[in-house]
Amino acid sequence: MTFSRSIKIAPSILSADFANFGAECRAVEAQGADWVHVDVMDGHFVPNITFGPATCAAIRPHIKGVMDVHLMIAPADPYIEAFAASGADIITAHLEAGPHIHRTLQAIRGAGARAGLALNPGTGIDAVEHLLDMVDLICVMTVNPGFGGQKFIHSQLDKIRRLRAMIGDRPVHIEIDGGVTVETAPLVAAAGADVLVAGSAVFKGGSVQDPEPYGENIRAIRTAAEAATGRMA
């Protein structure tokens, strides 16, 4: 993974056909996805359950590029090794998931993955200052985590701008997760985000049998985001 601030679209397979993850991953990549975003939920940290490291390992061979694993689980630490062994390129843990995020981020890098730090909409950014040199990505949740298809929370735009200033020249991605659409993509890109997770906005209208709508959706989100930043991939 070479670092770049160009816009990257990361479809979330939370909106894919759960009985067909392998084919869905291949389809979104063939349709222009840069990364594949994988949402792990435990029914405890968030009020929904998805899957664990065995599913991540099963889909890994179907993803040529970056497998971006978002852990919405508490505690996270006992499972870091298993998610790293599943082939995750990036493992993102929540600041709110336990008292020792510093240790969690150390464990992620120690296991050989890139380390991501996710912030819920109600979480401030003061603590991030002390973690900046330990992270490869900061994920700003623009919905409360747990479900796809929720409405974008506009108050997070100021958080994105402040994080972008705080990061400066460090090679740290800003990822946005939740409610990304053609309408909201330009707002987050202009505020400083470079990785745009999108679930419902990418998978709508398409299927493994008819994946072209995935490509149209990805291109529309990317074009809207790039127009807002002036950056072209």
The reply on whether position 153 binds ligand DX5 by CB under 6 A is no
**Binding span for ligand DX5 by CB under 6 A among 91-99, 121-129, 138-146, 209-217:** 138-146
Distance CA 221, CA 182 (A): 5
- DSSP secondary-structure letter at 152? P
How buried is 55 (Cβ within 10 angstroms: 0-12 exposed, 13-18 middle, 19+ buried)?
Answer: middle
CA distances from 19 to 4, 13, 14, 71 (A): 33, 11, 12, 21
The reply on whether position 53 binds ligand DX5 by CB under 6 A is no
Distance CA 80, CA 88 (A): 10
Catalytic site positions: 39, 177
Q: Where are the beta strands (DSSP E) in the chain?
A: 8-11, 35-41, 66-72, 90-94, 114-119, 137-141, 173-177, 195-198
The reply on whether position 159 binds ligand DX5 by CB under 6 A is no
**Least Å from the CB of residue 76 to ligand DX5:** 14
Q: Which residue is nearest to Zn ion (CB)?
A: 70
The reply on whether position 39 binds Zn ion by CB under 5 A is yes
**Least Å from the CB of residue 152 to ligand DX5:** 8
The reply on whether position 15 binds ligand DX5 by CB under 6 A is yes
43 annotated as a binding-site residue: no
Check if the beta carbon of residue 38 is closer than 8 Å to that of residue 68: yes
179 binds, among Zn ion, ligand DX5, none (CB under 5 to 8 A by kind): ligand DX5
Binding site for ligand DX5 (CB under 6 A): 12, 14-15, 37, 39, 70, 143, 145-150, 177-180, 197-201
Binding residues for substrate: 12, 70, 146-149, 177-179, 199-200
